[in-house]
Structures are given as structure tokens and as C-alpha cells.
Amino acid sequence: MPCPVVEVVVERAVVGAGGYPSDLTDEQWTLVEPLLPPPRTGPKGGRREKHPRRRIVDAIFYVLRTGCAWRQLPHNFPPWQTVYWHFVRWHGEGTVARVHDALRAQVRRAEGRSEEPSAGLIDSQSVRTADTVPAATRGFDAGKKVKGRKRFLVTDTLGLLLAVNVMAASIQDRDGAKRPLLWARLDHPSVRKVWADQGFAGRLVEWTAQILGRELEIVRKDPGQRGFQVQPKRWAVERTFSWLTTHRRLARDYEHHPAHAETMIRWAMIGIMVRRLARGCPAMRPGPHPLRRTPAE
């Protein structure tokens, strides 16, 4: 007797106009489009842009999610020179930061929070770099045995980005944290308290209190702790790092300039936030796929 055929029903991923899973859906694009600057035109108007902006943004997300080089963009995207030109232009004009901040405010409102947070978290992550990264912008992290760059993130208690700074991995946490803490203090004066791990203990706590007028609290591990354990308060920033490393472009640092690496992180957070706003709730792990038995022919 032949065995019955078991058919697995799997829901296909929702894709955008270009057919790639990294493309924005129509609902997600309606969140991003109003935040982009108007097209550049001359005194008498000028010609319209040749390539749709949606395809430009989709191409940036394609590079971010797949980790491919700019020159290896598929042919159904605009030319890679055009995409990279927009990437650099929006970086230099501060457009990416403004889009990111506007979406972060929307996510916080949707979560029932005020637009500006009152507390934050800081942590660092050392990542390896590509061979094309200049030696002057990379170093060796002796503690984690990583040669590359170090990312400093300041997030709110939801894990949303407040400040980011990328520098050589050879810089100690307590020294490299001063710049992102300063940026968070200037851009988000409502943040009164920041939690950090033991690597930020010492003179940085005094510097934060004396220079910034803010409290830096060190969350220490239990002396009897063995193995991994989720730390109170700090788990949200650790989750943010896991969000970022799902993007292959961020699994290793490929950017020539550290500032462009910071912009890539902001683009990743933009993609995370627009998906969250379009869903209306945080992502959940999918359950087991339903199975349906079909009679044998």
C-alpha cells in the first residue's frame, strides 16, 4: 500500500514591487516616502528624476539584507552608481537620520510611550572588517580577539536607536562611549539615566555625572552566575545587536568610512521600524507550519 503524501502548506513571504523579500511593501513605502526630501529641481523646474525613489530605497535595502557589493546589484534595480549616489547624498544631508528619528517617534507613540525617552542603554559590539577597510580606522580588540571596528549603540528601553558611533576596535569601552553618550545628551536631553555593563565602569561613571549631568548605572553580573543569563535592564540593547546582525551587510563591516557604517545601521533600524509599524505589533516567532494530508493517487 503506497504511503500517503504529506503536503506542507507554507505561506509565501510578502514582497514588494520588485519581487525581492527585502523590498518595501506598499504600506511600508507610504511611511517612508513623505519623510524623504523633495526632488532637486532648477530655478525653472528641471526634468523629473529618471529612476523612481522607491526602487532606490529598495536597492539600498537589498544591499543591506544580502550583503552584496554595490556593483553587484541586480539589473532590475537602477544603476549602482545612482543608488550609491543617493546613499551618500542622503547621508551627507542628514536625511537618513531625520527619517530614522521620525519613525522612532511613531513607534514609541504606537507603544504608548512619549516620543522622547527618559532612560537609555549603552553597549558595544566588535566586528571584523573587510580587506577594503582602511587600516587607520580599524584595530584589535584584545578582550574579544577581534580585529576590526567597534560599534557603540545608545538605545531606549524598547531597543530603538538613539545614538551610534563606529570606531576602531582597539579603543576601550570606557573611552569610546564618551562620544555616543554626548550625542545622546545633546539630541535627547530628556534621557536622565543610562544603564551599561561592567566594561563601562570606572572613570566613565564620574565623567558622565560631572560633564553630562546624567547618571550612568552599571549592571553587574551575579557573582555566582555560570554561563549566559539575561541581565536586567540591559537585555534590550543586546536584542538590538541581534536585530542588526540579521542583515548580512552588518555581519562584517564593509564600509570605507566609519560614518557610512553608522548610516547603514540607521538604514537597518529604518527597515525594522517600518515593518513593525506596518504590522502594528512586534514580530513573533512563527509556529509550526500546518500539515495537510492528501490522498494518494
Q: Which three cell numbers stand for residue 128?
A: 571584523
SS3 state of residue 176: helix
Number of CB atoms found within 10 A of residue 26's CB: 10
Q: How many whole angstroms separate alpha carbon 295 and alpha carbon 80?
A: 50
Q: In this predicted structure, what is the pLDDT of residue 62?
A: 97
Q: How many whole angstroms separate alpha carbon 165 and alpha carbon 261?
A: 9
CA torsion through residues 193, 104, 90, 257, sign: positive
Q: Which three cell numbers stand for residue 104?
A: 522612532
SS3 state of residue 118: coil
Q: In this predicted structure, what is the pLDDT of residue 38?
A: 84
Q: How would you classify the pairing of strands 193-196 and 215-218?
A: parallel
Treating both helix axes as pointing N-terminal to C-terminal, what angle do 235-245 and 258-279 enclose, rounded to 10 degrees?
Answer: 100
CA atoms within 13 A on the CB side of 185: 18
Distance of CA 200 to the CA centre of its chain: 22
CA atoms within 13 A on the CB side of 183: 15
Q: In this predicted structure, what is the pLDDT of residue 282?
A: 64
Q: In this predicted structure, what is the pLDDT of residue 285?
A: 67
Q: How many whole angstroms separate alpha carbon 93 and alpha carbon 265?
A: 17
Q: How many whole angstroms separate alpha carbon 26 and alpha carbon 13?
A: 14
Q: How many whole angstroms separate alpha carbon 97 and alpha carbon 183?
A: 13
Q: How many whole angstroms separate alpha carbon 145 and alpha carbon 76?
A: 41
Mark the ranges of the chain whose per-residue pLDDT is less than 70.
Answer: 1-18, 41-46, 227-230, 281-287, 289, 291, 296-297
Q: How would you classify the pairing of strands 5-8 and 161-168?
A: unpaired
E-strand ranges in 177-240 read 193-196, 215-218
Q: In this predicted structure, what is the pLDDT of residue 45?
A: 64
Q: How many whole angstroms separate alpha carbon 128 and alpha carbon 256?
A: 13
Q: Which three cell numbers stand for residue 93?
A: 544631508
What is the reported pTM?
0.86
Q: In this predicted structure, what is the pLDDT of residue 11?
A: 36
Q: In this predicted structure, what is the pLDDT of residue 227?
A: 67
